[in-house]
Chains A and B, each alone.
Chain A
Amino acid sequence: MSKQIKVALIGNPNTGKTSVFNQLTGLNHKVGNYPGITVEKKEGICKLPRGVKAHILDLPGTYSLNATSLDENVVIELLLNKKDKDFPDVAMVITDVENLKRNLLLFTQIKDLKIPTILVINMADRMRRKGITLDIPLLEEKLKTKIAVVSTRKNEGIDRIKELILDYKNVSSEPCVNASVIDVEYFEGLKNAFPNQDVYKLWLVITQDVNFVNLDRNLVKDASSFSTKPKSELKRLQQKETIYRYQFINGVLKEGYKLDMNAAKGFRASLDKVLTHKIWGYVIFFMILLIIFQAIYDWSSYPMDFIDATFASFSEWAKETLPSGAFTNLIAEGIIPGLGGIVIFIPQIAFLFLFIAVLEETGYMSRVVFLMDRSMRKFGLSGKSVVPLISGTACAIPAVMATRNIENWKERLITILVTPFTTCSARLPVYLIIIALVIPDQRFFGMNLQGLTLMLLYLLGFVMAVVSSWILNKALKIKSRSFFVVEMPNYKIPLLKNVVYTVVEKTKSFVFGAGKIILAISIVLWFLASNGPTDDFTNAEEIVKNKYSEASVGQSVSETDMENEIASFKLQNSYIGILGKGIEPLIQPLGYDWKIGIALVSSFAAREVFVGTLATIYSVGSDDEQTIKSRMGSEVNVLTGGKLFNLASGISLLLFYAFAMQCMSTLAIVKRETNSWKWPLGQLFIMTGFAYVVALIAYQVLK
């Protein structure tokens, strides 16, 4: 690999950092997570003139080098660790021309780390309208940097950035503010205690106060041996540092930045008047929610039906075309339906992310946070919990990750813990098939009963989330101060490129993340259902045929009945059948048989596996074209002799799926986000226990 220039993009949130990143890297980028933590890591390659390439790392948005969230912590950890493989050759601070003063605070801090730093002043297209003029040569001199004035919206100035990166060796690494003047004595002491370290770096390490995750801090291992100051004193110094930096920035901007007040203001204020209005604000928000749900559950049904049909016929085709044998069965009955089970969620997930991306990009989401905070707080949540709870209707995994910007640990934890109650798209296939089986397709006061049931289930999920937050808020004794600071960004028309990239990235990460698990389970299930430990399994055909010829003299058995009988016998004696039989006593009181038991067990990995499992179970060895629904409909409960899927067992199943924690990926994410097994395990046992009890009561009452 040829030597690449390593560039780190740093900046406050809402400065157009992502746009700059997208402009520089185009589609040459990938998104992942930092090792061990679920903070998004975006990196890409930027082609520079003369065949040179730059490796661009997009760091999470941060207001300063004093971390108040895990996202921000990543930035500091990287910049403090020269040995990190991503440590930049040159840092690039992205600023918004309208918020230059505040954005420069971060810039001066990074300069203090003696990293060569380029200053990018973005949103230059707004300058004239806002009456802003800049004296670039003066700013470059005072800030000891090189400046690129760009407008990502108009695609201007990107070449200048590329030039500056190429020429990074000429970018100064000299600090522009000397922070140690805030307490000369203390900083002298620091310098003497750790003679080999940079003082400002030491100061940052000492003052980091992150209560999110205890990240290892290798840099100053014995910092505790240094006689440090009490916390309140450190905070006073931090304030002093901030004031000192602002004094410097104000001095610089006084000369280099002119603002014509008359040209400013207007649009934002009038839009805010409506969108944050006491009544209209809520009306508009609920209308938007309505449109989102409409899109997710109505519009997306067309592509979903198409995907469903395509995979079904693909599986059929594979079965017919490929030479018959175990491998073909694996492909046709395990892999293709498994893949289909993932791909089918793409339309819903993409729609949801599309809306969230647009709402975030326009700056509207902050207004929702503002409007909702007060009412959410009653339940121990924060206005910022709205986004995860909405995202949870697509998938709990990105939703849990979206809690990261909640500063208050208790509010964040509660949000993480209750999010899995919201009805995610994985429950939808289960709900749909069971509702179709047990709820009559009738109207009730003009409302379709099946649709009504589905709506009730969604409401139930939301109510449970709220009620359990209320309980958790009372029960959890976590001392955590409720700091809540939300920036209200300028309204912007979203850039198509950014929205499209976000949707593609998030959908991709869902498909590959959840997809791997679902696919693996499908294959394992197929294997377990197609193999058995005893001779009963291998000789199933003979045994069943013998049984019939002995017992049913005079009784004619049709070919298909015989085949079904064989398939069912085979399944009972397969590995998975034995497993299902094993748990049958536990689930019989809920009205389920061992086949449902198998589906329950496998869907502890992911709920959407339920339908796939039943499909696999009912289709192993049988070739007829019955749909899964009619197969389920004709299943008989051996104990009662009635239909297996009746109102009682159906409602019991619906409730079980509404409450039980059946998603390994979510548990894994919760473990990573809370850095402990305590919370995901608590979720698993409490939610599932509750689900069991509710399902039990429902079945016993309705039966």
Chain B
Amino acid sequence: MALTVADLKKGEKGIIKEISLDEIPIKLFEMGCLPGNEIELIQHAPFQDPLYLNINGSYLAIRKETALHITIDVIDHNISGV
């Protein structure tokens, strides 16, 4: 199964591979959530939801249900958050 943003661990980064257009608000891709861009999980709220992300330089919080529709390639396993 493809990895999604919801699978990221704190401090991990990924490259956005694909986003499900029907599930993602336009606003999110205007904020830089587009294929090819880097995404980093900064922090989870309690119960892993919502997610606090750095998407291509924009700091955003989105819900897990949205994060599930953004598939990624994880690029950095070991770097923990700054």
Contact with B along A96-109 (1 / 0, CB 8 A): 00010110010000
| CB of A321 within 8 Å of the partner chain | no
**How many Å from the CB of B12 to the closest CB on chain A?**
15
Cα distance, A107 to B58, chains bound together (Å):
17
B60 pairs with A486, CB closer than 8 A: yes
B26 pairs with A374, CB closer than 8 A: no
When distances are taken between beta carbons in the complex, the residues of chain A under 8 Å from B26 are 64, 66, 68, 209, 235, 238-239, 242
**How many Å from the CB of B81 to the closest CB on chain A?**
7
Interface size class of B (residues with CB under 8 A): 20 to 34
B59 pairs with A489, CB closer than 8 A: yes
Cα distance, A236 to B58, chains bound together (Å):
22
When distances are taken between beta carbons in the complex, the residues of chain A under 8 Å from B32 are 101-102, 246
B63 pairs with A102, CB closer than 8 A: no
| CB of B6 within 8 Å of the partner chain | no
A64 pairs with B30, CB closer than 8 A: yes
| CB of B28 within 8 Å of the partner chain | yes
B60 pairs with A488, CB closer than 8 A: yes
Cα distance, A131 to B79, chains bound together (Å):
23
B21 pairs with A484, CB closer than 8 A: no
| CB of A407 within 8 Å of the partner chain | yes
Contact with B along A364-405 (1 / 0, CB 8 A): 001001110110000000010000000000000000000000
**How many Å from the CB of A50 to the closest CB on chain B?**
39
| CB of B76 within 8 Å of the partner chain | no
B30 pairs with A366, CB closer than 8 A: no
**How many Å from the CB of A359 to the closest CB on chain B?**
16
* A242/B45 contact (C-beta < 8 A), A485-B60, A485-B62 known: no
Which residues of A in the span 236-281 have a Cβ within 8 Å of any Cβ on B?
A: 236, 238-239, 242-243, 246, 265-266, 268-269, 272, 276, 278
When distances are taken between beta carbons in the complex, the residues of chain B under 8 Å from A105 are 30
Which residues of B in the span 22-69 have a Cβ within 8 Å of any Cβ on A?
A: 22, 25-32, 34-35, 42-43, 45-47, 49-50, 52, 56-63, 65-66
B52 pairs with A63, CB closer than 8 A: no
When distances are taken between beta carbons in the complex, the residues of chain A under 8 Å from B58 are 99, 102, 487
When distances are taken between beta carbons in the complex, the residues of chain A under 8 Å from B66 are 483-485
* A232/B21 contact (C-beta < 8 A), A242-B30, A278-B46 known: yes
* A239/B21 contact (C-beta < 8 A), A370-B52, A374-B50 known: yes
| CB of A482 within 8 Å of the partner chain | yes
Say which residue of B49, B57, B61, B82 sits within 8 Å of A369 (CB atoms).
Answer: B61
When distances are taken between beta carbons in the complex, the residues of chain B under 8 Å from A278 are 46
B29 pairs with A239, CB closer than 8 A: yes
When distances are taken between beta carbons in the complex, the residues of chain B under 8 Å from A370 are 45, 50, 52, 61
B61 pairs with A99, CB closer than 8 A: no
Say which residue of A276, A374, A407 sits within 8 Å of B43 (CB atoms).
Answer: A276
Query: B63 — nearest CB in chain A belongs to which residue?
Result: A484
When distances are taken between beta carbons in the complex, the residues of chain A under 8 Å from B52 are 272, 276, 370, 488
Cα distance, A425 to B61, chains bound together (Å):
33
* A68/B29 contact (C-beta < 8 A), A102-B57, A102-B58, A239-B34 known: no
When distances are taken between beta carbons in the complex, the residues of chain A under 8 Å from B46 are 278, 371, 374
When distances are taken between beta carbons in the complex, the residues of chain A under 8 Å from B42 are 269, 272
B34 pairs with A482, CB closer than 8 A: no
Cα distance, A366 to B45, chains bound together (Å):
12
When distances are taken between beta carbons in the complex, the residues of chain A under 8 Å from B45 are 276, 370-371, 373-374
**How many Å from the CB of A231 to the closest CB on chain B?**
9
Say which residue of A209, A235, A371, A373 sits within 8 Å of B63 (CB atoms).
Answer: A373
**How many Å from the CB of B50 to the closest CB on chain A?**
5
Cα distance, A173 to B42, chains bound together (Å):
40
Query: A363 — nearest CB in chain B belongs to which residue?
Result: B59
Query: B30 — nearest CB in chain A belongs to which residue?
Result: A64
Contact with B along A13-47 (1 / 0, CB 8 A): 00000000000000000000000000000000000
B34, B42, B59, B82 pick with most chain A CB within 10 angstroms: B59
Cα distance, A235 to B59, chains bound together (Å):
24
Cα distance, A101 to B45, chains bound together (Å):
27
Cα distance, A485 to B25, chains bound together (Å):
9
Say which residue of B25, B29, B60 sits within 8 Å of A407 (CB atoms).
Answer: B25
Query: A238 — nearest CB in chain B belongs to which residue?
Result: B26
When distances are taken between beta carbons in the complex, the residues of chain B under 8 Å from A490 are 59
Cα distance, A622 to B39, chains bound together (Å):
74
* A63/B30 contact (C-beta < 8 A), A371-B45, A373-B63, A484-B50 known: yes
When distances are taken between beta carbons in the complex, the residues of chain A under 8 Å from B60 are 485-488
Contact with A along B65-77 (1 / 0, CB 8 A): 1100000000000
**How many Å from the CB of A123 to the closest CB on chain B?**
14
When distances are taken between beta carbons in the complex, the residues of chain B under 8 Å from A246 are 32, 34
B62 pairs with A243, CB closer than 8 A: no
**How many Å from the CB of A403 to the closest CB on chain B?**
17
Say which residue of B21, B22, B43, B63 sits within 8 Å of A482 (CB atoms).
Answer: B63
Contact with B along A77-108 (1 / 0, CB 8 A): 00000000000000000000001011001000
Query: A383 — nearest CB in chain B belongs to which residue?
Result: B50
Query: B51 — nearest CB in chain A belongs to which residue?
Result: A370
When distances are taken between beta carbons in the complex, the residues of chain A under 8 Å from B47 are 374
B28 pairs with A269, CB closer than 8 A: no
Cα distance, A268 to B42, chains bound together (Å):
11
* A66/B30 contact (C-beta < 8 A), A235-B21, A272-B42, A374-B50 known: yes
Cα distance, A102 to B31, chains bound together (Å):
6
When distances are taken between beta carbons in the complex, the residues of chain B under 8 Å from A371 are 45-46
When distances are taken between beta carbons in the complex, the residues of chain B under 8 Å from A232 are 21-22
**How many Å from the CB of A327 to the closest CB on chain B?**
58
A238-B29, A370-B50 known; 6 other A-B pairs, CB under 8 Å?
A242-B26, A370-B61, A371-B45, A484-B61, A485-B60, A488-B59
20 pairs of residues in contact across A and B, judged by CB atoms under 8 Å: A64-B26, A64-B27, A66-B26, A66-B27, A68-B25, A68-B27, A101-B56, A235-B21, A238-B26, A238-B29, A243-B35, A268-B59, A276-B43, A407-B27, A484-B50, A484-B63, A485-B25, A485-B31, A487-B31, A488-B52
Binding site for A on B (CB under 8 A): 21-22, 25-32, 34-35, 42-43, 45-47, 49-50, 52, 56-63, 65-66, 81-82
Q: Which 9 A-B pairs have the closest CB atoms?
A: A488-B59, A483-B25, A486-B61, A64-B30, A370-B61, A484-B63, A278-B46, A66-B26, A374-B49
